[in-house]
Amino acid sequence: MSTQDLHELGVAGLSAQLAAGKVSSVEVTQHFLNRIARHDSLGAFLATNAEVSLAQARAADARLAAGERTPLLGVPLAHKDVFVTRDFPTTAASKMLENYRSPFDATVVANLASTGMVTLGKLNCDEFAMGSGNENSAYKPVKNPWDASCVPGGSSGGSAAAVAARLIPAATGTDTGGSIRQPAAFTGITGIKPTYGRCSRYGMVAFASSLDQAGPMAHSALDCALLLSAMASPDPDRDSTSLDLPVIDYASNLIAASAGEAGATPLKGLRIGLPTQFFGAGCSADVLAAVRGALSEFEKLGATLVDVSLPLTELSIPVYYVIAPAEASSNLSRFDGVRYGHRAADYADLTDMYKKSRSEGFGDEVKRRIMIGTYVLSHGYYDAYYLKAQKIRRLIAQDFQTAFTQCDVIAGPVAPSVAWKIGEKSSDPVASYLADIYTLSSSLAGLPGMSIPAGFGAGGMPVGLQLIGNYLKEGQLLRAAHQFQLATDWHQKAPGISA
């Protein structure tokens, strides 16, 4: 393969080329750095450092030359700018953290670096990961590579746009209420949010601590499997919510399962539940058509479709937008202008410094959520709002457990529409909140979920199929997605981005 076409390869493809000695990590890294520079107008990157990236590539080449062969060695990626990094600034796309440099790497970053992956830079996102369209970045909005007038989804929109445009083969993202799955769907890539606690949150700038979870975004389920095995690890000393479970080799399991499932119906016996609440009038016809087409393909692969119910789905939006802002209000109180972050230049006293530093440092959406969170946690309202929301959250989780007695995997649309125009929902925050209706409930329950490309809808924009599994069933989701992608080519479609 010509080095001019390296961006067409995903993680697995690049790994094979590197292991065979057909290309060096330095060549791969320089190729992607060149593409990033040429397509800066997408707004996907907030920081790059060619010197750092090429030094990491040279180190990877030395390991390859010494005979080391591991799946991710020498393969490049980039990180959502909510993961702290020593070699790149970490801003969380906020003026509050402009030019901040962390003295350490997040656990997810360190885990991937230990495999020999090369970091190409930091990716744009909604400020402090708060948003559904990546329009809330303090620096610049991210554009959807399929149509630059549309949003790429959020908050991991920079990650999604960069992978879709083939500026990078893979990226890290975070999912609090759907922020991996929704942008993956809007840009036609694959993304998975693992079970809450599967990946350490240490070094991940906090939004809502009981919901935030890291996950990979890439071309395919196989690529995501390779990344997730490296990202996930117990981290009990630094993250009390980290699950103390052994690391699973998801990719090897996929390959072994595929070899043992040769035939026309590799998914025979898999029961896919279709919640009636996900297929109602609230979902646009073009999205439903693509999703139904993908589900028909799963039937051809041997899966059985069964109707299930998640009756509290409609309550997931009010529950989420009580709990998440409440936790954000608490987490973001640390940005006070005293220890680190933005400090106002002129102030009369300590209280005035707090007010001005936070007013100047935070954007409108972050301020809105802090205000909501502070309100629901205040005296007289805690029981009426926050405590009640937590009780309903438990009931939502129980709904899923009831559904899983009837099925193995739950499927449906990721979002009720394809990507909307930039600015279309800026004046109506609630409209963008409603775009998360199909992803919020599984986040509240802490369940794993993923988005896989399933076709195209209005305006030729990508549509994603969502798969939700029971706790710790990431392997089952990846297996189903992998078999679907072996039988289809939606995940290989790319926007018309020049070389």
Report if residue 175 sits inside a domain. Answer: yes
Q: What's the pLDDT at 67?
A: 97
Which residue in the list 24, 80, 140, 220 is annotated as catalytic?
A: 80
Residue 335 lies in a domain: no
Residue 86: what pLDDT?
98
Q: What is the pTM of this model?
A: 0.97
- Residue 238 within a domain: yes
List the catalytic residue out of 156, 159, 179, 233.
179
pLDDT in tens, the chain (499 residues): 567 789 999 999 999 999 999 999 999 999 999 999 999 999 999 999 999 999 999 999 999 999 999 999 999 999 999 999 999 999 999 999 998 999 999 999 999 999 999 999 999 999 999 999 999 999 999 999 999 999 999 999 999 999 999 999 999 999 999 999 999 999 999 999 999 999 999 999 999 999 999 999 999 999 999 999 999 999 999 999 999 999 999 999 898 877 666 667 899 999 999 999 999 989 999 999 999 999 999 999 999 999 999 999 999 999 999 999 999 999 999 999 998 899 999 999 999 999 999 999 999 999 999 999 999 999 889 999 999 999 999 999 999 999 999 999 999 999 999 999 999 998 888 888 888 999 999 999 999 999 999 999 999 999 999 999 999 999 999 999 999 999 999 999 999 866 5
CA-nearest of 394, 437, 419 to 275 is 437
Smallest CA-to-CA distance from 186 within 153, 216, 235, 220 is with 153
- The parent domain of residue 12 ranges over 8-262+469-492
CATH number, residue 240 = 3.90.1300.10
* pLDDT for the residue 261: 64
124 is a domain residue: yes
Assign residue 248 a region (left: φ > 0; alpha: ψ between -120 and 50; beta: otherwise): beta
Q: What is the pLDDT of residue 181?
A: 98
Number of domains in the chain: 1
pLDDT at 452 (0 to 100): 98
d(CA 156, CA 81): 9
pLDDT at 427: 82
pLDDT value for 262: 62
Catalytic, 80? Answer yes
Question: Is 155 a catalytic site residue?
Answer: yes
Domain annotation covers residue 178: yes
Residue 323 lies inside a defined structural domain of this protein: no
**Is residue 387 within 8 Å of residue 455, measured between CB atoms?**
no
Longest dimension (CA), the chain: 75
Task: Indicate whether 20 belongs to any domain.
Answer: yes
Residue 254 included in any domain? yes
Q: Which of 94, 155, 242, 442 is catalytic?
A: 155
